[in-house]
């Protein structure tokens, strides 16, 4: 399987993540991508290709112009306002308040976000753009006949809504790719999110559509981020009714239980008969992940990959979460090797 990678991910090197009332060094850090890349090379998974430039066209198929402009200008606006640190949202339009876009950068940061852990920094725009280009380059490989490709995206994307950043995400790389498949003639696309967290952005983007099915397995949002979406009674709306599926699990869930949800998800994907499959691949389901509570082992990721491979669909993997950097390379490449073993 070919991997697409961009060294521009290094432009996203935040110093702060708001966590537990203090600013910590972010979990979503550059060594994550470098460790995965090293393992891809060590295991000779396949060629590693650079990202092509796709411009903003495919991004604007999913995100609003105003949101994209905001992301593009936010760091400059923040520094022009004389702020000393990284750009962290601290005020939101709560219940009963006006949903209008304020002029002031503090107001706009809140308008275009849903969480405060994700600081915007000098290179964030460049890295988020590169991450989208990584996804779109890998998507094009699959659209042009590769059976599968791995988009080594960083920053991740599955929490980003059409006009909201948060959860370390800015552009929804999985959603952009699914939309690109549709725009290139795929009739139906399935997005299966195996990251520990709910893919709230992806769900929201396609919630009223039947041409992109969204499925996510994740920790119970009653207990863990993103808290306000991802429950099992969310099944889609209007024409999208029946085309969203959430599979929620409690703390301590091992692979033996999680794989039942994977089976359910795979059955739904198969019945949908999509022309392409996008896997939002997070390995923060790992037993030693510092911010998550599932108990998958490194060997389990081989079995996950095998199950996905058996779907026998043109498949794009977009990299999402996974924060135990010591194990992230092994775990991600195990999924991809397990997948390849079935082909
Ligand atoms: C992004 B992805 C840590 C709280 C973390 C944000 C989690 C974002 C996960 N104390 N909250 O889905 O891996
Ligand atoms: Mg998930
Ligand atoms: Zn995650």
**pLDDT per residue as tens digits for the range 80-136:** 999 999 999 999 999 999 999 999 999 999 999 999 999 999 999 999 999 999 999
Put residue 20 in one of left, alpha, beta given phi > 0 → left and psi -120 to 50 → alpha: left
Band (342; pLDDT cuts 50, 70, 90): very high
Mean pLDDT of 242-255: 99
Q: Identify the residue whose tokens are 């980003």.
A: 160
The three-state secondary structure class of 204 is: helix
Q: Which pTM value belongs to this model?
A: 0.99
How do strand 244-249 and strand 148-151 relate by DSSP bridges?
unpaired
> Ligand 1 in contact with 320 (CB < 6 A)?
yes
> Ligand 1 in contact with 117 (CB < 6 A)?
yes
pLDDT score for 217: 99
pLDDT score for 127: 99
Closest ligand 1 atom to the C-alpha of 118? 6
pLDDT score for 218: 99
Closest C-alpha residue for ligand 1 atom 1:
167
Ligand approaching nearest to the C-alpha of 224: 1
ipTM above 0.95, yes or no: yes
> Ligand 1 in contact with 167 (CB < 6 A)?
yes
Residue 145 Cα to ligand 3 midpoint, Å, equals 29
The three-state secondary structure class of 178 is: helix
Q: Please identify which of the residues 27, 63, 158, 159 carries the catalytic annotation.
A: 159
Residue-averaged pLDDT of the chain: 99
pLDDT score for 153: 99
Which helix or strand (DSSP H or E) is residue 129 part of?
helix 124-143
Closest C-alpha residue for ligand 1 atom 3:
291
> Ligand 1 in contact with 197 (CB < 6 A)?
yes
Band (242; pLDDT cuts 50, 70, 90): very high
Closest C-alpha residue for ligand 1 atom 6:
167
Residue 287 Cα to ligand 2 midpoint, Å, equals 16
Band (289; pLDDT cuts 50, 70, 90): very high
Closest C-alpha residue for ligand 1 atom 13:
321
pLDDT score for 251: 99
Residue 83 Cα to ligand 1 midpoint, Å, equals 25
Longest dimension (CA), the chain: 55
Residue 167 Cα to ligand 1 midpoint, Å, equals 5
* Count of Cβ atoms closer than 10 Å to residue 105 Cβ: 22
The three-state secondary structure class of 343 is: coil
Task: Compute CA 105 distance to the chain's CA centroid, rounded to the nearest angstrom.
Answer: 26
> Ligand 1 in contact with 314 (CB < 6 A)?
no
> Ligand 1 in contact with 156 (CB < 6 A)?
yes
Closest ligand 1 atom to the C-alpha of 323? 13
* DSSP assignments along 73-99, one per residue: HHHHHHHHTT--S-B-------TTS--
Closest to 176 in 3D by CA, of 194, 195, 193, 191 = 191
Closest C-alpha residue for ligand 1 atom 2:
321
Residue 156 Cα to ligand 2 midpoint, Å, equals 13
The three-state secondary structure class of 124 is: helix
Main-chain phi, psi angles of 341, to 5 degrees:
-65, -20
Task: Compute CA 233 distance to the chain's CA centroid, rounded to the nearest angstrom.
Answer: 22
DSSP state of 239: G
Q: Rounded to whole angstroms, how far apart are CA atoms 273 and 244?
A: 15
Residue 44 Cα to ligand 1 midpoint, Å, equals 30
Buried b (16+ CB within 10 A) or exposed e, 42-59: eeebbeebebeebeeebb
161 is catalytic: no
Put residue 227 in one of left, alpha, beta given phi > 0 → left and psi -120 to 50 → alpha: left
Mean pLDDT of 267-294: 99
């Amino acid at each position: 399987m070919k991997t697409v990678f961009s060294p521009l991910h290094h432009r996203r090197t935040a110093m702060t993540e708001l966590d537990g009332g203090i600013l910590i060094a972010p979990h979503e850090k550059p060594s994550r991508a470098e460790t995965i890349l090293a393992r891809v090379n060590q295991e000779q998974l396949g060629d590693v290709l650079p990202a092509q430039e796709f411009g903003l066209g495919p991004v604007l198929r999913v995100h609003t112009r105003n949101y994209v402009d905001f992301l593009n200008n936010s760091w400059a606006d923040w520094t022009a306002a004389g702020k000393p640190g990284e750009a962290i949202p601290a005020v939101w339009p709560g219940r009963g308040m006006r949903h209008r876009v304020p002029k002031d950068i503090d107001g706009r940061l809140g308008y275009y976000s849903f969480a405060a852990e994700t600081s915007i920094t000098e290179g964030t725009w460049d890295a988020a753009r590169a991450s989208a280009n990584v996804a779109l380059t890998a998507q094009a490989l699959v659209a042009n006949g590769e059976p599968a490709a791995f988009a080594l995206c960083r920053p991740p994307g599955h929490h980003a809504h059409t006009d909201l950043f948060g959860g370390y995400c800015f552009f929804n790389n999985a959603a952009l790719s699914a939309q690109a498949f549709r725009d290139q003639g795929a009739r139906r696309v399935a997005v299966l999110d195996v990251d520990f967290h709910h893919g709230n952005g992806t769900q929201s983007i396609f919630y009223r559509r039947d041409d992109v099915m969204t499925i996510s397995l994740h920790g119970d949002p009653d207990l863990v981020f993103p808290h306000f979406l991802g429950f099992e009674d969310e099944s889609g709306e209007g024409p999208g009714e029946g085309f969203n599926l959430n599979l929620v699990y409690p703390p301590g869930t091992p692979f033996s239980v999680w794989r039942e949800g994977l089976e359910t998800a795979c059955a739904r994907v198969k019945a949908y008969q999509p022309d392409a499959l996008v896997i939002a691949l997070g390995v923060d389901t790992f037993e030693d992940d510092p911010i998550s509570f599932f108990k998958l082992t490194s060997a389990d990721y081989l079995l996950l990959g095998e199950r996905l491979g058996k779907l026998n669909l043109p498949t794009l993997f977009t990299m999402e979460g996974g924060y135990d950097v010591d194990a992230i390379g092994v775990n991600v490449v195990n999924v991809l090797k397990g997948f390849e073993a079935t082909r």
